[in-house]
Amino acid sequence: MINKTELNKLRSQIDKNKVYIDSIKDLKIDDDKKHTMALSMSVLMEYFRVNQKMAYDSLTEGGGDNKIDALYYSDDSDEFTELVIIQSKFKQKDGDTDTLKEDEIKLCIKSCENILSGGVFQTTNKILEQKINNYRTLLKDNGLPPITIKLIFATNGIIHEGHKRRYAKVS
C-alpha cells in the first residue's frame, strides 16, 4: 500500500516522464496512453534505478502488447536472468478504484508463462516481439540459465483487495 506522500512523489515522476514522452517527435498517441507509459517508466526508475532513456526504451505499450507495458532486463551478465515485466494502469484521479481487471491480470500472467516456456504469442506488436526475441537470444548465447520474472502491476489508483491476495503468490 502506498501512502499519500509516496503517491505525490509518484505523480511528480509520472508528470516528468510525460514531459519526456511529449518531447519525442512523431509519437502519435493520446495523453492517457502517454501517462500509462510514464507510470511504467517511473516504476523502473524508482525501483530498479534505470535512467529515463533506458526506462523509455523498455516500453512495449501499444496494441498487441499482451498486457505487457514494459519489459526490462539488464545486459550485465550477472543480472540479465531477472526479467522485469510491468503492467500499468494510469488513473486521472490518484487513488481511483477499479484499476486492474481480472482478465488483464490473467493475460499478463499468461504472457509471463509464455515467455518462460518459450511459447509464441498469437498476436504481438513488433516492439514486444523484438524485445522477447533479443532476450531469448541472450539466454541462448549464455547457455539457457534459469530466469526469474518479476511481474509488477503498477497504478496510481487502488488495486482491488481480492486481486492483491489472489494473485500475490503466482509463480
Listed by start position, the domains of the chain span 4-167
Q: What pLDDT does 159 receive?
A: 57
Q: What pLDDT does 56 receive?
A: 96
Spatial distance between the Cα atoms of 100 and 154, rounded to a whole number of angstroms? 9
Q: How confident is the model at residue 85 (pLDDT cuts 50, 70, 90)?
A: very high
Percent of the chain whose pLDDT exceeds 90: 34
Q: What pLDDT does 3 receive?
A: 62
**Is the per-residue pLDDT at 117 higher than 50?**
yes
**Is 103 in contact with 20 (CB distance < 8 Å)?**
no
**Is the per-residue pLDDT at 162 higher than 70?**
no
Residue with cell 531477472: 82
Whole-prediction pTM value?
A: 0.83
